[in-house]
Amino acid sequence: MKVNVNGSLVPGDEAKISVFDHGVLYGDGVFEGIRLYNGRVFALDEHLRRLEESAKYILLPLPCSLQQLETEILDAIRANDLRDGYIRLVVTRGAGTLGLNPFKCPKPSYFIIVDTIALYSPELYKNGMAIITVPTQRNMSEAVSPRVKSLNYLNNILAKIEALNAGFEEAIMLNKYGFVAECTGDNIFIVKDATIVTPPAYMGALEGITRNCVMRLATQKGYNVKQRVISRHDLFCADECFLTGTAAEVIPVTVIDGRPIGSGKPGSITRDVISLFHSHVQSSGTPVYS
Ligand code: PMP
């Protein structure tokens, strides 16, 4: 495997960053997970624009232009000769002193990993997953904006631990008002009376690129799609539920907190959304090998 570290492609086991990097010391940095389908990078512009916005929010200058990052992503994929895979683009504050001060880190660092990924088992995609709500609340937007895709994932990791300890693979995180924000690494949708609903970003969700794509595709297909506040009551009484994310793609949820959702099987609208998404990603995106 070849990894791009600060602009140079090196073998995976030689890809290193400094122990003084504030990305390591404090989780001070931003990242993107990007998908490669059928030799095309899915939604590359959207990912780069979100990276730019995340960096802006934490006052981190990007190490080079978005155009340059795009070129280096495409080069890294070619160097690994993959047609389907997952790209992790990380920008950190860079090496500095042993204090929080980000302004003592003169140069941001970055790296690009190209690999394959399979987040959940094929059975879960077919039969749906059981998930739970957990006590750890989503970060308040007044503390760290949940819209920034930062390297500091402890909030989500704590929620993930609670789910895993209880025997579940994913957790629904509520915000401080008790409304649904998102899952630890995915956005959440419910279907109620044929309307597809997801919480607005200000409820504590990352504005997922898969989420936005699914909303667009479903609207084009003629579904009613709404961003609306979702309570646990809405979850429990939903007809269908599914999660979206770059790594997870679109996955049905059939049980929440021990309660079957709808029929307890992946719903027909969920299955339609999954097939719309799969056919869309095969033929859209930035071609790598042309
Ligand atoms: N929420 C969180 C907390 C995430 O980390 C992610 C990405 N894994 C998502 C939602 C989904 O976003 P996207 O569709 O852009 O991958």
Q: Which amino acid is at 171?
A: A
- Is the separation of the CB atoms in 199 and 227 below 8 Å? yes
pTM, two decimals, is 0.97
At 176-219, the pLDDT tens digits run: 999 999 999 999 999 999 999 999 999 999 999 999 999 999 99
Nearest CA residue ID for atom 6, ligand 1: 185
> Which residue numbers are catalytic?
149
d(CA 213, CA 273) in angstroms, rounded, equals 10
Instruction: Give alpha helix (H) positions in 63-146.
Output: 66-80, 122-127
- Write out the DSSP string of 175-194: -TTS-EEEESSSEEEEEETT
Please report, to the nearest 10 degrees, the dihedral formed by the alpha carbons of residues 126, 161, 235, 260 taken in order: 50
- Looking at ligand 1, which residue's alpha carbon is closest to its atom 11? 245
CA of 139 to the centre of ligand 1 (A): 15
252-284 pLDDT tens trace: 999 999 999 999 999 999 999 999 999 999 999
pLDDT at position 161 is 98
Kindly list the structural domains of the chain, giving each domain's residue range(s) and its CATH number in brackets, ordered by start.
2-115 (3.30.470.10), 122-282 (3.20.10.10)
CA of 97 to the centre of ligand 1 (A): 31
Tokens of residue 141, six digits: 């937007």
Cβ < 6 A, ligand 1 pocket: 33, 156, 182, 185-187, 206, 208-211, 244-247
